[in-house]
Chain A
Amino acid sequence: MFKLRRFLKDYKKECIIGPLCKLFEAILELFVPLVMARIIDVGIKNRDAVYVWKMGGLLVLLAVLGWSSAMFTQYFASKASQGAGTKIRRELFLHINSLSHAELDALGTPSLITRITNDTNTVQQSIAMMIRLLTRAPFIIIGSLVMAMTISPRLSLIFFGAAVLIALTLYLVTSKSVPIFTKMQKKLDNIGLIARENLSGSRVIRAFSKQKAETARVDEATGELAEITLRVSRLSALLSPVTYAVTDIAIILIVWYGAVNVNIGEMQTGDIVALVSYMTQILLAMIVVANLVTLLNRTAASAKRINEVFETEPSVVEGSTETIAVDLSAPKIAFEHVCFNYSDDGDDELSDLSFSVKRGSTVGIIGSTGSGKTTLINLIPRFYDATAGCVRVDGRDVRDYSFAQLRGQIGMVPQQSILFSGSIRDNLRWQNKDAADSELIRALKTAQAWEFVSKLPRGLDSRVEQGGRNFSGGQRQRLCIARALVKLPEILILDDSFSALDLATDAALRRALKETTEGLTVLIVTQRSTTVRGADRILVLNDGTSAGYGTHDELMESCEVYREIVASQEG
């Protein structure tokens, strides 16, 4: 948790003055019972109304002073916590941007999202809480104890006893209930899961007439949650009554022993009143401390998760920050004995794969799921690095390039057609933010998307919702293809990008690509044999190795795997 303190560096002033102001307020607060005791013991005893007024005025003064220093604390707390939170978010986002695919896979995107939002918010909140409370509560507790000791050292023993008992109760109840809360959260997650399944599977559930069974499942899950909630509430319901009992028993003891002391003249009546109110203050402060401890626990967990991100180093780093010279006589892309696996203990995803792609040619990559097609193309823009062997673009090892030079020349259409919220124009301008409309329209036409885009009431300005969900699968796919074409890439990688298109559009698109993209090197990953048939060469992948590389006719002659694929789809 303390590793995150560097984010507070710019807020040193706030972090010191804030708690100091709070401390000042707490000191003032401790004076209040003393002043009240003076009113009773001096003012009333001596029947001195002026003294009462004076002391009363002092009380108001204390209140106003306390208030103003509290306002300062709140100001500094808000400033430091929001500032630090903003900084953490910013650096997290930057750091995530620098991570490569392997690390993103390991951390998991949903978890990264929670870390940058919820976890950062938790840390932010607790910074404010700590500035506000960390000094005050312990100070009030210690201060009250000290004040009690100055009034009567013997009676303060009661305070110590009560404080220990209250602390014990708080500790026992919270430590016992935390694991149950975790279980509760799990049960609640389970209900969420059932809800998701019931919604996404509504057709199947009805088709099999399983409504009753689903209802029984829900009844069980909700029943379990209710039961565990009750269990935890039986426990947590103890907290307030028990602390109340301890405090009041302490008060009874104070009054009794106070009475004894007053009787022998060692104490005054007002002292008892003061002691009683110190006791109440201790109780309140203890509860604050208990809340703080749970908050700190949660913060520590959040901070750990945030630090985990910061401590993750990108495994793929730029080979150079400058543009390097390339060999234009070399093949555009070459794989030389490339091996790859995602984890050390797993089997190789790709093993000893060698092939080269001529500049301006179209290569189809075909194979069953799990044969390593996507893995192969991920190595070209260096989403991952080959474990052995080498991938070359324009004769140079991809690891020598800067990201900008390497990725800048690649147009990528991933398997999942994802668009971003904004307008169609925003989405198309991803690789080239200054692209003119004419360039966008050219790309849309090639991608067979202009037909429907031009029919939209707002054309290029039409709104795209998150993920592009307001477009059909086929439309999304075509927009993604257009997006990759805007900057006129040198290499176009289509990863199973025609899956949502009907055969006619598929054919038209490939024809258009061929016509409009002179000199473009195209890699088409697909499962459809018709899609790759027209390619200059076809790479047949089987279990991470090349089962054949050649034209359709050559492969039909020589490659068993290829023949099988064609037969299964066109039979």
Chain B
Amino acid sequence: MSTWNDPPGGFHPISAPDYLPRPQLAGIQLQRLQSVVTRAYERVPLFRSRLEERGLKPASIGSLTEIASLPFTVKTDLRDTYPFGLFASPMEEIVRLHASSGTTGKPIVVAYTQSDLDVWSEVMVRSFVACGLHRGDVIQNAYGYGLFTGGLGAHYGAEALGATVIPISGGNTERQLMVMADFGVTALCCTPSYFLHLLESAKEMKIDFSRLRVGVFGAEPWSDSMRERIQEESGIRAYDIYGLSEIIGPGVGVECRDQRGLHIFEDHFYPEIIDPESGEVLPDGAEGELVLTTLSKQAMPMIRYRTRDVTALVSEPCACGRTLRRIRRIGRRSDDMVIIRGVNVFPSQVETALLRVEGTLPHYQIVLTREKGLDQMEVKVEVTSEVFSDEIRKLESLQHQLEASIENILGLRVKVTLVQPRSLARSEGKAKRVTDLRNV
């Protein structure tokens, strides 16, 4: 079957593993799993001690299902071993470091050997191919370049595909639109909300982007209704791409032309779905938390990493012919993390910031909205008798200090609003700290 967005050649050789018969794929997975577990056991003290506590050896893993006997890795493990404690390669072999925000003030650091970067480029090429891109496409990469994995991950993947890359990075909407029109851009990488903003601005500025064919959108949650809106209003095909720095960055999974779930590149990332409460592995089709194991990572192997993303594995064959299992699009998380403009935000980070300024923790609430396609974060903070002043300038100064403290920790500009004491809803048990009004 061929569709309008298939590449002229029909098939890119690098995508061959997408179509492996399942038994053959399982053989590769088991061999790689045993090898990565051995590597982590020999080189990462935290992992080794956890296996020893359970009386396990790498040789205990004789089948893929036995992965369930291995301990989980969680985000706080990266923080507790900051910066390099989970590295399994000496610095001489590490060629790149990236970082993203952690649960407290310190970021989490991830590392890549040259082989890891090659794997990353490979899965990005396979992602772009799944989205119908090929040589000759002009790809505008509006993901942020820098410590964030989005920019460089998409960049090297697009180059490896043989496409023309415009490394424009994020921001500056007018320049984005000018480049899109003047350079004949056919594909765009950015967050879906930013694309909506570009779309509105393009209409206002009467900019023609009729050559744009494909959007590869990720780094934040978005819904099917948002996709329909994007596709109807712009005429492009909008694909969801999934990834996280701890695993590799973007390129862990991606949609194909059927847009019914994201294929996980299972030859490099082994997916499981677990019950977030009990930790038990759930069968395909059941909803739970996605757990990923990097099968080929060298610098920083992640064994059973708990992503906190809630989804389900789809094992039914896909009409596109790929044998890779899919995950349903991520709708929510099993923890209280939210993603704003590609930045991971935990309420605990906001609490740290408020504490630094006020000394005690006030009641607060995080409100997320989307204005002109851009996520906005507002933190409502109740005024306490300790900080209240009869002078306007002291309260305004408090407000600015709170904003600066939060920006300092999150790297994200937020708006702080002081509110009356006891005006924020109190819930029984666990406080609901985040109100998400983004309608994604």
Asked if A pairs with B, the answer is no
